[in-house]
Amino acid sequence: MVSALISFLFSPSGRKARRLAAAALCGLALAGAAQAERVKDLASIQGVRSNQLIGYGLVVGLDGSGDQVRQTPFTQQSLTNMLSQLGITIPQGTNMQVKNVAAVMVTARLPSFARPGQAVDVVVSSMGNAKSLRGGTLLMTPLKGANGQVYALAQGNLLVGGAGAEAGGSSVQVNQLNGGIIPNGAIVERGVPTVYAQDGIINLELNNTDFGTAQNMVAALNRQFGPQTAQALDGRVIQVRGPLDPAAQTAFLSQVENLDVVVPAARAKVVINARTGSVVMNRTVTIDEAAIAYGNLSVVISRDTQVNQPDTPFAGGQTVVTQNTEIEMRSDTGSLTRVNTSANLADVVKALNALGATPQDLLSILQNLKSAGALRADLEII
């Protein structure tokens, strides 16, 4: 039997069967990959979050591109206060003419589970009239949270990207020089307690509110970890019962985050950039029958139903009902475009562009389709 099976697999019929099986397996793999996403890509753990930090400091060592002290008195005041803390007294009323100092705002994110001694990146931005922060050094700057407590100290050399480039005889600025970053420029002095589980109860928050995704995630969690493990509180929050032992919660959450969830079709949406005329839509966008006249353009969208039946009775075939959509667009110049499609808005946009419709024309036509109820999607203009 084994030899017969081997002979069949290497025969012409067997090779064809192997190709069909491989194609079927690839199709199943692609379908699964296209429909399933990991929990970590769809949701976050409630309580595991970063915190914003902010501080005010001085950048020194600039090559004459710092603040003009007369126009930014806070820079001179900050410099005077800093020198007094170092034991240097500046006579009152002294007008310092320094050009290598700039007042800056320093921002950073304190990540979750941060511990004292951990380094984080900081962003430095000029708040005066400094021309450039290139080559500057940020002096020690306390970074505070929303409660006014100091959580990190920032200091270091700035990394400012970009420079002026000559293009066609004119200077072109390819980046902003009044801001920069300091990689690992702040040292955490105090951590923020991160509480994400209470009595083994962990809440997952979906990135986007969707009742279908929430229900599918609950079903996947209950199949993997047993019934009553998860329940949806609403369309965004899912409550999960994890282990009571804190040491076992990390391994449990690792399995939860890597669990695949089948995501339902997204809400139909069309996004239009009114400045550039770009149109972005997802695959769930459809259109219905409509007729629009706009300027020198006319659009007629019609739909007909076709029924395909087997050639002979009792042949074991199946009756198939299909709907075809025909889009006819005409301009005053005599251009005529007909598109046979399955109610796809992308074909309408493509045909309008072929007729020479401007971005404003396209925007008005889509708005009219939406107002008439023929565009079955949310229309967002940015």
Distance CA 378, CA 380 (A): 6
Provide the pLDDT confidence category of residue 4 given band limits of 50, 70 and 90: very low
Q: Convert the pLDDT of each residue in 176-193 to its tens digit.
A: 788 999 999 999 999 998
Lowest mean pLDDT among 52-56, 58-62, 90-94, 230-234: 90-94
Among candidates 144, 153, 134, 146, which has minimal Cα distance to 59?
134
Q: Same domain, yes or no, for 277 and 353?
A: yes
Q: Same domain, yes or no, for 70 and 163?
A: yes
Q: Convert the pLDDT of each residue in 113-134 to its tens digit.
A: 999 999 999 999 999 888 999 9
Q: Same domain, yes or no, for 246 and 353?
A: no
Does residue 257 belong to any structural domain of this protein? yes
Note down the domain range covering 76: 51-188
Q: Same domain, yes or no, for 214 and 296?
A: no
Does residue 46 belong to any structural domain of this protein? no
Q: Same domain, yes or no, for 59 and 182?
A: yes
> How many whole angstroms from its chain centre is CA 183?
23
CA neighbours within 13 Å on the CB side: how many for 52? 4
End residue of a domain, out of 170, 188, 206: 188
Report pLDDT for 201.
Answer: 94
Q: Same domain, yes or no, for 223 and 142?
A: no
Q: What element of type H or E holds 12?
A: helix 12-35
Provide the pLDDT confidence category of residue 38 given band limits of 50, 70 and 90: very high
Domain count, the chain: 3
Does residue 19 belong to any structural domain of this protein? no
Does residue 41 belong to any structural domain of this protein? no
Does residue 373 belong to any structural domain of this protein? yes
Q: CATH number of the domain that 231 lies in?
A: 3.30.1360
Distance CA 272, CA 280 (A): 6
Q: Convert the pLDDT of each residue in 298-338 to its tens digit.
A: 666 665 555 555 555 555 556 554 555 555 556 555 444 44
Q: What is the DSSP letter of 266?
A: P
Report pLDDT for 170.
Answer: 47
Q: Is 244 helix (H, G, I), strand (E, B) or coil?
A: coil
End residue of a domain, out of 147, 164, 188: 188
Sign of the alpha-carbon dihedral angle for 220, 226, 232, 236: negative
| 232 in Cβ contact with 245 (< 8 Å) | no
Backbone phi, psi, residue 180, to 5°: -160, 180
End residue of a domain, out of 262, 293, 313: 262
Q: Convert the pLDDT of each residue in 222-277 to its tens digit.
A: 999 999 999 999 999 999 999 999 889 999 999 999 999 998 888 888 888 877 77
Q: Same domain, yes or no, for 273 and 252?
A: no
Q: Same domain, yes or no, for 235 and 353?
A: no
What is the DSSP code string of 117-181?
Answer: T-EEEEEEEE-S--S--TT-EEEEEEEE-TTS-EEEEEEEE-B----EEEETTEEEE-S-SSEEE
Q: Same domain, yes or no, for 208 and 325?
A: no
Which residues fall within 8 angstroms of residue 113, CB to CB, at 6 or more apart?
Answer: 48, 191, 194
Does residue 22 belong to any structural domain of this protein? no
Report pLDDT for 8.
Answer: 44
Mean pLDDT of 201-222: 94
Mean pLDDT of 152-169: 73
Does residue 32 belong to any structural domain of this protein? no
Q: Same domain, yes or no, for 298 and 361?
A: yes
Q: Same domain, yes or no, for 166 and 114?
A: yes
Does residue 27 belong to any structural domain of this protein? no
Provide the pLDDT confidence category of residue 205 given band limits of 50, 70 and 90: very high
What does pTM read for this prediction? 0.67
Q: Same domain, yes or no, for 218 and 302?
A: no
Report pLDDT for 332.
Answer: 57
Mean pLDDT estimate for the chain: 78
Residue 144's beta-bridge partner residues?
Answer: 54, 150
Higher pLDDT among residues 36 and 57, named by residue = 57
Q: Phi/psi zone of residue 159: left (φ > 0), alpha (ψ -120 to 50 degrees), beta?
A: beta
Q: Convert the pLDDT of each residue in 282-293 to its tens digit.
A: 777 777 777 767
